[in-house]
Amino acid sequence: MLTIKAIASGSRGNAYLLDDGAEHQLLLECGIPFAKLIKALRFDISKLSGCLVTHEHKDHSHAIADVLRYGIDVYCSGGTAEACKVVGHHNLHVVTVMKPVVLPGFSVLPLRAEHDAVEPLLYLIRGSGFLLLFATDTYYIRYKMPEDLTHIMIECNYSMERLNENINGGEIDSARKQRILHSHMNLNTLREFIKANEFKRLEQIYLIHLSRENSDADAFVREIEMVTGVPVTAV
Protein backbone atom coordinates (compact mmCIF):
# COMPACT_ATOMS: atom_id res chain seq x y z
CA MET A 1 0.00 0.00 0.00
CA LEU A 2 1.34 3.39 -1.00
CA THR A 3 2.11 5.90 1.74
CA ILE A 4 3.16 9.49 1.11
CA LYS A 5 5.12 11.57 3.60
CA ALA A 6 5.48 15.32 3.15
CA ILE A 7 8.89 16.24 4.55
CA ALA A 8 8.58 19.85 3.37
CA SER A 9 6.24 21.73 1.03
CA GLY A 10 6.16 25.32 -0.16
CA SER A 11 8.46 28.10 -1.24
CA ARG A 12 10.81 27.47 1.70
CA GLY A 13 11.55 23.94 0.55
CA ASN A 14 10.03 20.78 -0.93
CA ALA A 15 10.67 17.10 -0.30
CA TYR A 16 8.32 14.12 -0.24
CA LEU A 17 8.80 10.40 0.36
CA LEU A 18 6.86 7.63 -1.38
CA ASP A 19 6.81 4.18 0.22
CA ASP A 20 5.23 1.32 -1.71
CA GLY A 21 4.90 -0.89 1.37
CA ALA A 22 7.09 -3.50 -0.30
CA GLU A 23 10.62 -2.42 0.58
CA HIS A 24 10.87 0.41 -1.96
CA GLN A 25 10.95 4.15 -1.36
CA LEU A 26 11.29 7.11 -3.70
CA LEU A 27 12.28 10.65 -2.77
CA LEU A 28 10.58 13.48 -4.66
CA GLU A 29 12.65 16.68 -4.58
CA CYS A 30 15.49 17.60 -2.22
CA GLY A 31 14.78 21.27 -1.61
CA ILE A 32 15.87 21.48 2.02
CA PRO A 33 19.28 21.27 3.72
CA PHE A 34 20.69 17.76 3.56
CA ALA A 35 20.97 17.49 7.35
CA LYS A 36 17.21 17.96 7.67
CA LEU A 37 16.52 15.65 4.75
CA ILE A 38 18.58 12.72 5.99
CA LYS A 39 17.15 13.18 9.49
CA ALA A 40 13.62 12.93 8.04
CA LEU A 41 14.73 9.68 6.40
CA ARG A 42 15.95 8.51 9.82
CA PHE A 43 19.45 8.16 8.36
CA ASP A 44 18.27 5.07 6.48
CA ILE A 45 18.48 4.96 2.67
CA SER A 46 18.48 1.18 2.37
CA LYS A 47 15.03 1.16 0.73
CA LEU A 48 15.55 4.30 -1.34
CA SER A 49 15.42 3.69 -5.09
CA GLY A 50 16.39 7.26 -5.94
CA CYS A 51 15.43 10.92 -5.91
CA LEU A 52 13.43 12.70 -8.63
CA VAL A 53 14.09 16.42 -9.04
CA THR A 54 11.72 18.53 -11.14
CA HIS A 55 13.88 21.64 -11.71
CA GLU A 56 16.79 23.69 -10.46
CA HIS A 57 15.11 26.24 -8.17
CA LYS A 58 16.59 25.93 -4.69
CA ASP A 59 13.33 25.09 -2.96
CA HIS A 60 13.38 21.88 -5.04
CA SER A 61 17.09 21.13 -5.50
CA HIS A 62 18.89 22.64 -2.49
CA ALA A 63 20.55 19.38 -1.39
CA ILE A 64 21.10 17.77 -4.80
CA ALA A 65 24.91 17.75 -4.59
CA ASP A 66 24.85 16.26 -1.09
CA VAL A 67 22.26 13.68 -2.10
CA LEU A 68 24.53 12.55 -4.94
CA ARG A 69 27.59 12.47 -2.66
CA TYR A 70 25.67 10.34 -0.18
CA GLY A 71 25.26 7.68 -2.86
CA ILE A 72 21.64 8.29 -3.77
CA ASP A 73 20.73 8.10 -7.46
CA VAL A 74 19.23 11.36 -8.72
CA TYR A 75 16.98 11.63 -11.79
CA CYS A 76 16.37 14.95 -13.53
CA SER A 77 16.47 16.63 -16.94
CA GLY A 78 19.71 17.62 -18.61
CA GLY A 79 18.83 21.28 -18.23
CA THR A 80 18.27 20.85 -14.51
CA ALA A 81 21.56 18.98 -14.11
CA GLU A 82 23.45 21.77 -15.87
CA ALA A 83 21.74 24.50 -13.86
CA CYS A 84 22.54 22.65 -10.62
CA LYS A 85 26.15 22.09 -11.76
CA VAL A 86 26.06 18.33 -11.20
CA VAL A 87 26.60 17.12 -14.78
CA GLY A 88 28.82 14.05 -14.95
CA HIS A 89 28.29 12.74 -11.43
CA HIS A 90 28.24 8.94 -11.43
CA ASN A 91 24.98 8.84 -9.43
CA LEU A 92 23.20 11.26 -11.78
CA HIS A 93 20.70 9.96 -14.35
CA VAL A 94 19.53 12.39 -17.01
CA VAL A 95 15.95 11.70 -18.13
CA THR A 96 14.05 12.77 -21.22
CA VAL A 97 10.41 13.76 -21.68
CA MET A 98 8.17 10.80 -22.67
CA LYS A 99 10.95 8.23 -22.20
CA PRO A 100 10.17 5.89 -19.27
CA VAL A 101 12.79 5.08 -16.67
CA VAL A 102 12.70 1.95 -14.51
CA LEU A 103 13.87 2.10 -10.90
CA PRO A 104 13.62 -0.64 -8.27
CA GLY A 105 9.90 -0.81 -7.47
CA PHE A 106 8.90 2.10 -9.72
CA SER A 107 8.47 3.03 -13.37
CA VAL A 108 8.76 6.76 -14.04
CA LEU A 109 7.56 8.71 -17.08
CA PRO A 110 8.95 12.29 -17.26
CA LEU A 111 6.61 14.92 -18.71
CA ARG A 112 7.12 18.57 -19.57
CA ALA A 113 6.18 21.19 -16.96
CA GLU A 114 5.33 24.84 -17.63
CA HIS A 115 7.52 26.90 -15.30
CA ASP A 116 10.22 29.58 -15.43
CA ALA A 117 13.08 27.09 -15.19
CA VAL A 118 15.55 25.67 -17.73
CA GLU A 119 13.94 22.26 -18.35
CA PRO A 120 11.29 21.54 -15.70
CA LEU A 121 9.48 18.22 -15.45
CA LEU A 122 6.40 16.48 -14.10
CA TYR A 123 6.49 12.78 -13.29
CA LEU A 124 4.04 9.91 -13.71
CA ILE A 125 5.10 7.22 -11.26
CA ARG A 126 3.79 3.67 -11.41
CA GLY A 127 4.32 1.14 -8.65
CA SER A 128 2.68 -1.93 -7.22
CA GLY A 129 -1.05 -1.15 -7.27
CA PHE A 130 -0.80 2.59 -7.91
CA LEU A 131 -0.19 5.25 -10.54
CA LEU A 132 0.72 8.69 -9.21
CA LEU A 133 1.05 12.09 -10.87
CA PHE A 134 3.62 14.40 -9.28
CA ALA A 135 3.06 17.89 -10.65
CA THR A 136 4.58 20.89 -8.90
CA ASP A 137 5.61 24.32 -10.14
CA THR A 138 3.65 24.30 -13.39
CA TYR A 139 0.97 26.79 -14.33
CA TYR A 140 -0.90 24.24 -16.43
CA ILE A 141 -0.64 20.64 -17.62
CA ARG A 142 -0.71 19.99 -21.35
CA TYR A 143 -1.30 16.23 -21.12
CA LYS A 144 -4.37 14.04 -20.92
CA MET A 145 -3.93 11.79 -17.89
CA PRO A 146 -4.37 7.99 -17.80
CA GLU A 147 -7.78 6.85 -16.55
CA ASP A 148 -6.17 4.48 -14.04
CA LEU A 149 -4.45 7.27 -12.10
CA THR A 150 -4.86 6.51 -8.39
CA HIS A 151 -3.01 9.36 -6.66
CA ILE A 152 -2.34 12.98 -7.53
CA MET A 153 0.24 15.22 -5.87
CA ILE A 154 -0.32 18.59 -7.48
CA GLU A 155 0.43 22.24 -6.96
CA CYS A 156 -2.43 24.48 -5.88
CA ASN A 157 -0.40 27.59 -5.21
CA TYR A 158 -2.99 30.36 -5.08
CA SER A 159 -6.48 31.58 -5.88
CA MET A 160 -7.00 34.59 -8.09
CA GLU A 161 -9.22 36.14 -5.42
CA ARG A 162 -6.52 35.99 -2.74
CA LEU A 163 -3.82 37.11 -5.17
CA ASN A 164 -5.83 40.13 -6.28
CA GLU A 165 -6.58 41.04 -2.66
CA ASN A 166 -2.86 41.07 -1.92
CA ILE A 167 -2.09 43.09 -5.06
CA ASN A 168 -4.76 45.67 -4.19
CA GLY A 169 -3.40 45.80 -0.65
CA GLY A 170 0.10 46.55 -1.91
CA GLU A 171 1.60 43.30 -0.59
CA ILE A 172 2.48 41.98 -4.07
CA ASP A 173 3.80 44.12 -6.92
CA SER A 174 2.95 43.69 -10.61
CA ALA A 175 6.26 42.00 -11.50
CA ARG A 176 5.75 39.31 -8.89
CA LYS A 177 2.15 38.89 -10.02
CA GLN A 178 3.27 38.15 -13.58
CA ARG A 179 5.80 35.58 -12.38
CA ILE A 180 3.14 33.84 -10.27
CA LEU A 181 0.64 33.78 -13.14
CA HIS A 182 3.14 32.21 -15.54
CA SER A 183 4.88 29.83 -13.14
CA HIS A 184 2.40 28.36 -10.68
CA MET A 185 -0.96 26.60 -10.81
CA ASN A 186 -3.99 28.28 -9.30
CA LEU A 187 -7.18 26.78 -7.90
CA ASN A 188 -9.26 27.46 -11.04
CA THR A 189 -6.68 25.87 -13.35
CA LEU A 190 -6.48 22.81 -11.12
CA ARG A 191 -10.26 22.49 -11.11
CA GLU A 192 -10.38 22.67 -14.90
CA PHE A 193 -7.56 20.12 -15.20
CA ILE A 194 -9.52 17.66 -13.09
CA LYS A 195 -12.72 18.23 -15.07
CA ALA A 196 -10.85 17.69 -18.36
CA ASN A 197 -9.79 14.18 -17.32
CA GLU A 198 -11.69 11.02 -16.48
CA PHE A 199 -10.28 9.30 -13.42
CA LYS A 200 -11.83 5.88 -12.82
CA ARG A 201 -9.56 4.73 -9.98
CA LEU A 202 -8.65 7.94 -8.22
CA GLU A 203 -8.18 7.41 -4.47
CA GLN A 204 -6.44 10.48 -3.06
CA ILE A 205 -5.31 13.99 -3.98
CA TYR A 206 -2.56 15.90 -2.21
CA LEU A 207 -2.40 19.67 -2.71
CA ILE A 208 1.23 20.79 -2.53
CA HIS A 209 3.29 23.97 -2.77
CA LEU A 210 0.57 26.24 -1.40
CA SER A 211 1.51 29.91 -1.17
CA ARG A 212 1.65 31.30 2.36
CA GLU A 213 0.07 34.59 1.29
CA ASN A 214 -2.20 33.65 -1.60
CA SER A 215 -3.87 30.40 -0.59
CA ASP A 216 -6.51 29.09 1.79
CA ALA A 217 -5.77 25.42 2.46
CA ASP A 218 -9.13 24.54 4.01
CA ALA A 219 -11.11 26.24 1.25
CA PHE A 220 -8.96 24.62 -1.44
CA VAL A 221 -9.49 21.17 0.07
CA ARG A 222 -13.27 21.64 0.21
CA GLU A 223 -13.37 22.89 -3.39
CA ILE A 224 -11.39 20.00 -4.85
CA GLU A 225 -13.24 17.41 -2.78
CA MET A 226 -16.51 18.75 -4.21
CA VAL A 227 -15.17 18.41 -7.75
CA THR A 228 -13.67 14.93 -7.37
CA GLY A 229 -15.54 13.19 -4.56
CA VAL A 230 -12.28 11.74 -3.23
CA PRO A 231 -10.29 12.64 -0.10
CA VAL A 232 -8.06 15.69 -0.49
CA THR A 233 -5.19 16.67 1.80
CA ALA A 234 -3.23 19.94 1.78
CA VAL A 235 0.43 19.51 2.73
Q: What is the pLDDT of residues 180-212, one digit of tens each?
A: 888 899 999 999 999 999 999 999 999 999 998
Q: Work out how many domains the chain is built from and give that number.
A: 1
Report the predicted TM-score, pTM, of the whole model to 2 decimal places.
0.95
CATH number at residue 196: 3.60.15.10
Domain housing 86: 3-234
pLDDT tens-place string over residues 55-76: 999 999 999 999 999 999 999 9
Beta strand segments in the chain, E: 3-8, 15-19, 25-28, 48-52, 74-77, 92-95, 101-103, 106-112, 121-127, 130-135, 151-155, 204-208, 232-234
